Chains A and B, each alone.
Chain A
Amino acid sequence: MSGIDKENDLPLLIAEGLTKHYGRQLGCRDASFELYEGEVMAVVGESGSGKTTLLQMLSTQIEPSAGRVLYRMRDGAVQDLWTMSEPARRFLLRTDWGYVHQDPQMGLRMGVSAGGNVGERLMAVGNRHYGNIRATAADWLGRVEIPQNRIDDTPRTYSGGMRQRLQIARNLVTAPRLIFMDEPTGGLDVSVQARLLDLLRRIVSEMRIAAIVVTHDLAVARLLSNRIMVMKGGEVIEAGLTDQVLDDPHQPYTQLLVSSILPA
């Protein structure tokens, strides 16, 4: 009917009723959605709205109190992430997924050279040839606009923007199918943010990677994502196409968020 081939078009990731309580405190309640290959979904909301809790449950960093996450593996088998073995889950995280932290120090090895940071992910998926690893690492540093002559320097000597770009290269070098990003432009200068966003937008669309981006910045959501979920008080209160939700918000809180943006 719609031009989308429904037989062969299955979600990459399915979240079903994801709920997390911290003691008696609610972190996230009953979040459900499906994410398809190549889709970029933004999760927006203020601090404490539950968006980071949701991201951590999806990426298996914290175990949900209720609900489950299903993921379609490269071989087509759909697996429940919390019934997989710990090693299988770790392997998935290292190869098929990426995770871009707000603070690049969390996602990089600060004492290892830039080339080593990127090469390490390649070795984790079985690459052993030093020359190939170095060439691929150099190629990726170029794609994220890090000069070739900085490949042997450690990220300690890099600016914040360069560190963030290096973290992105480290994540994308294994051609993951899904990438999680937690405030990827947080803490960067506006001009550095624009460069990073443009880079992310281009790479994600060229590689057709699915992405879930947590941000409190609606401009970031508009630029990067096709779909959006708005969270408040641990619940998803509104979801849809990004331009639809931002141009025609229905919920009082979403209207407040949209109207709070200062015009540029």
Chain B
Amino acid sequence: MKTAMNALALTDVTKTFTMHLQGGLRLPVLRNVTFDAAPGQCVVLTGPSGAGKSSVLKLIYGNYRCDEGSILVSAGGSTVDIAAAAPREILSVRQRALGYVTQFLRAVPRVSALDIVAEPLMSKGVARDEATSRAAAMLKRFNVPERLWSLPPSTFSGGEQQRINLARGLLPEHPILLLDEPTASLDANNRAVVVDIIRERKQQGAAIVAIVHDDAVREQIADAAVDVTHFATAA
């Protein structure tokens, strides 16, 4: 029972973009992507820029629609095929089980940094007080100055926004984590914080799929590597 043991299993996932505004130009990006990740395992996606690494993460998160193949996500005793699930099933899986962390914060007007970090916990059903105190601890860990917590991050520096986004994405203890260059442009201290948190999550049994360009970080977290160029289509 391969799928019962894996937290995540991709089988023959294929993705082509059709650009109707460019006369129906077809851009095949991925073909027959097949790999899996077990609980506690960190799989790093490798390959040059443009190979489709981020697209793989977006397909798993359900942000891109899968043309062919299956993406089985197992959490809390249930398995959902993201490639075939209804919108509300995908939302439910994201809320319960699937974390997706990029470098970029999509700031919501007027919402404070602390609330932005606490929000995913609250939508998982954690009470406001507890969510807020855990969010505060996470912001402290990422060295975000306390005077910024009550402010909306739209005016923060790029580095501060990135750390707030990492705090938000890494706080809920999701069984599956998708990380798209989480340490890019971080200083050494904060890079070490990210590595520590990733190790903690692995110990807690999270399955992680990550894109990491920093060789030192990759060596510290990776258990397996998947070279995405194997699945790239000769466009």
Nearest-neighbor residue (CB-CB) of A198 within chain B: B110
Find A252's partner among B17, B21, B64, B123 (CB 8 Å cutoff): B21
Task: Give chain A residues whose Cβ lies under 8 Å from the Cβ of B17.
Answer: 248
Q: Is A149 an interface residue (CB 8 A)?
A: no
Whether the pair A241, B110 counts as a contact (CB closer than 8 A) is no
Q: Which of B9-35 contact A (CB under 8 A)?
A: 17-21
Nearest-neighbor residue (CB-CB) of A193 within chain B: B109
Whether the pair A244, B108 counts as a contact (CB closer than 8 A) is no
Q: Is A21 an interface residue (CB 8 A)?
A: no
Flag A179-218 by CB within 8 Å of B: 1 or 0 each: 0000000000000001101100100010000000000000
Task: Give chain A residues whose Cβ lies under 8 Å from the Cβ of B110.
Answer: 194-195, 198
Cα A250 to Cα B93 with chains together (Å): 23
Cα A205 to Cα B115 with chains together (Å): 14
Task: Give chain B residues whose Cβ lies under 8 Å from the Cβ of A124.
Answer: none
Cα A259 to Cα B20 with chains together (Å): 11
Given A195-B109, A241-B87, A244-B62, residue A3 in contact with residue B96 (CB < 8 A): yes
Nearest-neighbor residue (CB-CB) of A36 within chain B: B88
Nearest-neighbor residue (CB-CB) of A227 within chain B: B87
Shortest CB-to-CB span from B129 to chain A, Å, is 15
Q: Is B226 an interface residue (CB 8 A)?
A: no
Q: How many residues of B contact A (CB 8 A)?
A: 29
Nearest-neighbor residue (CB-CB) of B85 within chain A: A2
Cα A3 to Cα B74 with chains together (Å): 10
Task: Give chain A residues whose Cβ lies under 8 Å from the Cβ of B76.
Answer: 3
Shortest CB-to-CB span from B99 to chain A, Å, is 15
Flag B44-84 by CB within 8 Å of A: 1 or 0 each: 00000000000000100011110000000001101110000
Given A247-B63, A250-B65, residue A2 in contact with residue B80 (CB < 8 A): yes
Q: Is A62 an interface residue (CB 8 A)?
A: no
Shortest CB-to-CB span from B232 to chain A, Å, is 18
Whether the pair B89, A4 counts as a contact (CB closer than 8 A) is yes
Task: Give chain B residues whose Cβ lies under 8 Å from the Cβ of A243.
Answer: 63
Cα A119 to Cα B96 with chains together (Å): 39
Cα A252 to Cα B88 with chains together (Å): 25
Flag B94-118 by CB within 8 Å of A: 1 or 0 each: 0010000000000011110000000
Whether the pair B21, A259 counts as a contact (CB closer than 8 A) is yes
Task: Give chain B residues whose Cβ lies under 8 Å from the Cβ of A251.
Answer: 20
Nearest-neighbor residue (CB-CB) of A239 within chain B: B87
Q: Is B224 an interface residue (CB 8 A)?
A: no
Whether the pair A2, B109 counts as a contact (CB closer than 8 A) is no
Shortest CB-to-CB span from B79 to chain A, Å, is 7
Task: Give chain A residues whose Cβ lies under 8 Å from the Cβ of B21.
Answer: 252, 255-256, 259
Cα A201 to Cα B87 with chains together (Å): 19
Whether the pair B80, A244 counts as a contact (CB closer than 8 A) is no
With most chain B CB atoms within 10 A of its CB, the pick from A194, A197, A240, A241 is: A241
Q: Is B90 an interface residue (CB 8 A)?
A: yes
Whether the pair A2, B89 counts as a contact (CB closer than 8 A) is yes
Whether the pair B88, A39 counts as a contact (CB closer than 8 A) is yes
Q: Which of A1-29 contact B (CB under 8 A)?
A: 1-4
Question: Besides A244-B87, A251-B20, A255-B19, 15 other CB < 8 A contacts?
Answer: A1-B78, A2-B78, A3-B76, A3-B78, A36-B88, A194-B109, A194-B110, A198-B111, A201-B108, A205-B123, A240-B87, A241-B62, A241-B90, A244-B64, A247-B58
What are some 11 contacts across the A-B interface (CB < 8 A)?
A1-B79, A4-B88, A198-B108, A198-B110, A201-B108, A226-B91, A240-B87, A248-B17, A250-B18, A250-B65, A255-B20
Query: Interface residues, chain B, CB within 8 Å of chain A?
Result: 17-21, 58, 62-65, 75-76, 78-80, 85, 87-93, 96, 108-111, 123
